[in-house]
Each structure stands twice: as structure tokens, then as C-alpha cells.
């Protein structure tokens, strides 16, 4: 083992830093939530104003308000959605990322199968638990 700070000291310092980060994060999230809620109220008022005026946007001395439509899509029936995507060759309707746990399980169960283009990166990490 190299000279320097003891393992006990490193763990003690690490735990202190982790506690500090948790405190800072809680404080930030609380304040951020308050600001976000205030912004939602203002957004609702601006949407109402746009609706009343029949406007898709408003120009002010401080900035421009644009009223836009956002549409979100989802499915309640994944098996049927997958079937539909295969039938119509529209596999790009989903995001291009791999489910990490499912891929790990698949590879462990099928060591002879390697999906083309698959990359993997493993790193070491440590976890520290309180006594």
C-alpha cells in the first residue's frame, strides 16, 4: 500500500463529502422546486393571455412569448406496438439505446451470441457504506 493518508481517513473524508453533497442537493432541489412552481403559474397566465388575444406569440421589452403545441406519444400495449413496428418496418419509432440490465442478462444467458456492433466498457468503482 502506498504511503499517505490511511484508508480510515479516506473513508471518513469521503462520507463527509457525500453527506455535504446530499445536503446541498436537498437544499437546491427544494429551492428549485419553488422557482419551478412559480414559473408554472406565470406560464399558465401567459397561455391564458395568448388564448384571450388569439395570439401565437407576444413581444415584450424583455423577451418574446411563443405559444407552441407539444405532443407526447406512448403506448399501453408494448407487444402490439412491437408487432406493428415490425409489420411496417418502423423500428426507429423507439429510442436507440440498449436496456443495460436486459443486455447483461441476455449476454450471460447466450455467451455464444454477440450482437453485431455491440460495444462494452467496464470500469472499477468503489461503494462505501456507513458502519
pLDDT digits (tens, 9 = 90+) for 40-88: 999 999 999 999 999 999 999 999 999 999 999 999 999 999 999 999 9
CA proximity to 35, closest of 47, 24, 43, 45: 43
In a domain, 98, yes or no: no
In a domain, 76, yes or no: no
In a domain, 86, yes or no: no
Q: What is the pLDDT of residue 31?
A: 98
* pTM beyond 0.75, yes or no: no
**Count of structural domains within the chain:** 1
Q: Print the domain residue range for 23.
A: 7-66
Q: What is the pLDDT of residue 1?
A: 54
Amino acid at each position: 500500500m502506498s504511503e499517505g493518508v490511511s484508508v480510515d481517513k479516506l473513508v471518513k473524508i469521503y462520507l463527509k463529502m457525500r453527506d455535504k453533497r446530499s445536503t446541498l442537493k436537498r437544499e437546491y432541489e427544494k429551492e428549485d422546486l419553488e422557482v419551478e412552481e412559480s414559473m408554472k403559474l406565470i406560464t399558465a397566465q401567459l397561455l391564458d393571455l395568448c388564448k384571450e388575444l388569439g395570439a401565437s406569440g407576444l413581444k415584450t421589452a424583455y423577451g418574446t412569448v411563443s405559444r407552441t403545441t407539444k405532443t407526447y406519444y406512448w403506448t399501453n400495449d408494448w407487444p402490439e406496438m412491437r408487432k406493428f413496428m415490425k409489420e411496417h418496418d418502423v423500428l426507429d419509432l423507439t429510442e436507440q439505446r440498449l436496456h443495460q440490465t436486459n443486455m447483461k442478462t441476455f449476454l450471460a444467458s447466450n455467451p455464444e451470441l454477440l450482437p453485431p456492433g455491440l460495444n462494452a466498457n467496464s470500469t472499477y468503482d468503489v461503494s462505501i457504506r456507513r458502519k
